[in-house]
Amino acid sequence: MATRTFTPEQLEEFDVPYTNLHDEQVDSRRWADTRRCVFRAPDDGKTYEVTYQVPATEHQECDTWFDQDQITAAEVEQVPVTVMQWKPCT
């Protein structure tokens, strides 16, 4: 798996996590929600996935990047996926 390291300042310059290709919540805790987003790095054109956190309410505070000086992002690509679902019998 290819990875790349970004600084919080680089991600802020790229407007991540606010401008992204995909964003989803992956965990919810009392004070903060953990989210995962996919973005395209404008300097190399590749897509990466990072995990970040947001306050659970407007009264909470948290550091977007978990107080890390370096954020490791996995290079990702979009692929079609077949999903099995349960449906009522007809």
Residue-wise pLDDT for 41-83, tens only, equals: 999 999 999 999 999 988 888 889 999 999 999 999 999 999 9
Q: Structure pTM?
A: 0.84
The one-letter amino acid code at 68 reads: Q
> Which residue blocks in the chain are alpha helix, DSSP H?
8-13
CA nearest to 41, candidates 79, 78, 66, 76? 76
